[in-house]
Every structure is written in structure tokens, then in C-alpha cells.
């Protein structure tokens, strides 16, 4: 698991902050503004 701190926008244009990348499972873990829990997506889905 690798810690990161990068900002992106989702497909709706809302800002998300990527906090971790798991290369073993190819998952991206990120936070949404106003949402207290971590979210995750497979890398190929997150890149869309």
C-alpha cells in the first residue's frame, strides 16, 4: 500500500482526494468532500 495525496475530479466534476493506492489489488482509495468514510474503486474504473 502506498500513501499519496493527490486531488482529482470525479465524472460529475466533484473534487476527490486520493489518499492511498493498493497495487496488489489495483484499488484507489479516496475521500469525498462532506463524506466521512473512505471510498475505493478499481483503478480502471477510477480513470474513467
Condensed to tens digits (0 to 9), the pLDDT of residues 20-47 reads 999 999 999 999 999 999 999 998 888 7
Does the predicted model carry a pTM greater than 0.85?
no
Is the CB of residue 2 less than 8 Å from the CB of residue 17?
Answer: no
What does the pLDDT read at residue 27? 95
**Which positions ≥6 away from 36 have C-beta within 8 Å?**
none
Residues 6+ apart with CB under 8 A from 27: 21, 40, 41, 42, 43
Amino acid at each position: 500500500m502506498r500513501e499519496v495525496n493527490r486531488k482529482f475530479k470525479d465524472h460529475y466534476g466533484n473534487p476527490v482526494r486520493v489518499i492511498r493506492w493498493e497495487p496488489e489489488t489495483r484499488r484507489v482509495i479516496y475521500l469525498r468532500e462532506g463524506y466521512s468514510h473512505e471510498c475505493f474503486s478499481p483503478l480502471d474504473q477510477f480513470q474513467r
